Amino acid sequence: MNQRWRLLALWLLPIGMTAVLAWQLLGSSQLSPDTSNATSIAPKNTAVSRMSYGRFLDYVQDGRVTSVDIFDGGRNAVVEAIDPDLDNRVQRIRVDLPGLAPELINTLKEEGISFDIHPAKTAPPALGILGNLLFPIILITGLILLARRSSSMPGGPGQAMQFGKTKARFAMEAETGVKFDDVAGVTEAKQDLQEVVTFLKQPERFTSVGAQIPKGVLLVGPPGTGKTLLAKAIAGEADVPFFSLSGSEFVEMFVGVGASRVRDLFKRAKENSPCLIFIDEIDAVGRQRGAGIGGGNDEREQTLNQLLTEMDGFEGNSGIIIIAATNRPDVLDSALMRPGRFDRQVSVDPPDIKGRLSILKVHSRNKKLEASLSLENIARRTPGFTGADLANLLNEAAILTARRRKESIGLNEIDDAVDRIIAGMEGQPLTDGRSKRLIAYHEVGHALIGTLVKDHDPVQKVTLIPRGQAKGLTWFSPDDEQMLISRGQLKARIMGALGGRAAEDVVFGRAEVTTGAGGDIQQVASMARQMVTKFGMSDLGPMSLEGDSQEVFLGRDLMTRSDMSDAIAKQIDEKVREMVKLCYEETLLIVKNQREAMDKLVEILVDKETIDGDEFRNILSEFTLIPDKERITPILNT
């Protein structure tokens, strides 16, 4: 009810202020009496008309004016005059005067005309005082209501003294709903973090042998691997006070606010020790100091300095464990990464096949799967998927199942969900005959090289159904866990990427090749240059000739000079061109020799729009011998 009255008062405030202002203006101005009421002075049978000032002066000189009543400070007058046009009857006439001039008064006196000056009516003094006081009272009342309303809102003016306080969410007993059993696929990381929980619950097990509780744990890994989920699991398992916030919540535009929030955070943490502090995306505040053209951000650097001091300064913070997460450890300040602040750096990498299987088991608990659907097969089909990707995969498959009005998720829904996640939404099938055949030859060229080159990954599927920006796709099935890639495999991948352009060149001629191979050529250039400069797989020898191709970090990398001479750079370019040229010539030769098989495959593909890997190999085996390859089922798009 109080809130309603406040809102009503705020709504009525501008209306009341406008009304009071108008009242003041009317009350302070001189209110002339209504000259139309002067008709009561004249005889009832006379009428009031208007007369110009010049004619009025003529009437005065002719002696026709008998009396004059002046109103409104000399701006208006009511004149009684004898009108000859009305049988010399007395006529009451209104006159607009230029002002109360002394000459007019003297003229009236000389002519012996009776005149009276009526003073202007004013508002009563009490009403004027009330009008003058009412506006400030309403204004002050409105400001008080606004201040009270703002003080009840987070971050309002009423909380100006809270500006330097921490924004961390605090829970005496965190109820995140996540336990270690709900986190799968990161066994090593779970083991390290379970020890942290044991430190908090049973410290005597470690202190009895001289072990000290770690001050900080840094979770490092790509996005979607489960770093924040692990922090939630720690909060749910530890049964100690838990603070959680993001690194960006420290940084403000005002210098010193971030440092103040760090001090307040650790002050509250010490009052609730032992406790846990989780800082997500710590790279927002922990970036290297002094980085940036012209110096660093003073506010962020002061915040980082305060954080370093609180984590391992003169006072120390016994009983406080800090858990931080980032996917950019390369930009963190070295003082933040050292032991004593972050004693442990836990890598949270994308899961292997066993990890993916355990993650799928967790996320499939509340989903209806067909009896014939094997989670192990799904795990084999999704190399490189993170935990977030797998959760999204099952969710997309469930959505497709509901859209198709099926009761349980099947293999078709899984396949379509994988295609959707990797390549994008399915588009409308092509209808143009020439464009469709051109794309068919392009995709069959990829699949043909991928099948006939021994070191290439086997073909999983060839389709003309557009997805995302691609008008056609060829899917390959790499080995499950390719930690190491041989020179032959890299060369085979270059040839496979060039297969589409080679097919266009052979079938339509050099003048008719299209821009469809643009993305393939970019991949070819990248792989060939890495073979020469990074992996030492050329005649230049086993030398690393270029640094890591990471994003430029201003202040550290922008002005870094290359140690490579111009002569070496020229040789690198020549070796890359030579390698790509040889691979393209081999690809062209294979495509020319298999022209008949390619025509047959294109006819089938144009008709069916999709050919799976087994059917493709069966058709191709009718024309040539296919090299033996180790077959597995994971799907990946090239």
Render pLDDT for 252-269 as a digit per residue (tens, 0 to 9).
766 677 788 888 888 888
Mean pLDDT score of the chain, rounded to an integer? Answer: 78
Could you tell me which CATH number the domain at 433-551+560-637 has? Answer: 1.20.58.760
Q: In this predicted structure, what is the pLDDT of residue 44?
A: 38
Can you tell me which residue has the tokens 């021994």?
Answer: 454
Of residues 158 and 415, more confidence is placed in: 415
Within 471-548, where are the H helices?
487-508, 518-533
Question: What span, in angstroms and rounded, lies between the C-alpha atoms of 194 and 201?
Answer: 11
Burial (Cβ within 10 Å: 0-12, 13-18, ≥19) of residue 254: exposed
Is residue 223 a contact partner of residue 256, using CB atoms and an 8 Å limit? no
Could you tell me which CATH number the domain at 35-117 has? Answer: 3.30.720.210
Within a 10 A sphere around the Cβ of 271, how many other Cβ atoms?
Answer: 9
Q: Is residue 638's pLDDT more than 60? A: no
Q: Is residue 45's pLDDT more than 50? A: no
The region of weakest confidence among 381-390, 425-434, 526-535 is: 425-434
Q: Is residue 581's pLDDT more than 90? A: yes
Report, as residue numbers or ranges, the catalytic residues.
Answer: 443
Could you tell me which CATH number the domain at 353-423 has? Answer: 1.10.8.60
CA diameter of the chain = 138
Q: Is residue 498's pLDDT more than 90? A: yes
Of residues 220 and 13, more confidence is placed in: 220
Question: What span, in angstroms and rounded, lies between the C-alpha atoms of 286 and 332?
Answer: 5
Q: In this predicted structure, what is the pLDDT of residue 38?
A: 43
Q: In this predicted structure, what is the pLDDT of residue 585?
A: 93
What's at 269, amino acid-wise?
A
Strand ranges across the sheet with 242-246: 169-171, 242-246, 275-280, 320-326, 216-220, 344-347
Q: In this predicted structure, what is the pLDDT of residue 29?
A: 44
Q: Is residue 346's pLDDT more than 80? A: yes
pLDDT in tens, 182-237: 788 788 888 888 888 888 788 788 888 888 878 888 999 888 888 888 888 888 88
Is residue 498 a contact partner of residue 449, using CB atoms and an 8 Å limit? yes
Question: What span, in angstroms and rounded, lies between the C-alpha atoms of 521 and 494?
Answer: 9
Q: In this predicted structure, what is the pLDDT of residue 635?
A: 37
Mean per-residue pLDDT, 339-367: 87
Architecture per CATH, domain 169-347, reads as 3-Layer(aba) Sandwich (3.40)
Of residues 88 and 225, more confidence is placed in: 225
Of residues 118 and 360, more confidence is placed in: 360
pLDDT in tens, 590-607: 999 999 999 999 999 888
User: β-strand 473-476 against 459-463: which pairing, if any?
Assistant: antiparallel
Of residues 189 and 445, more confidence is placed in: 445
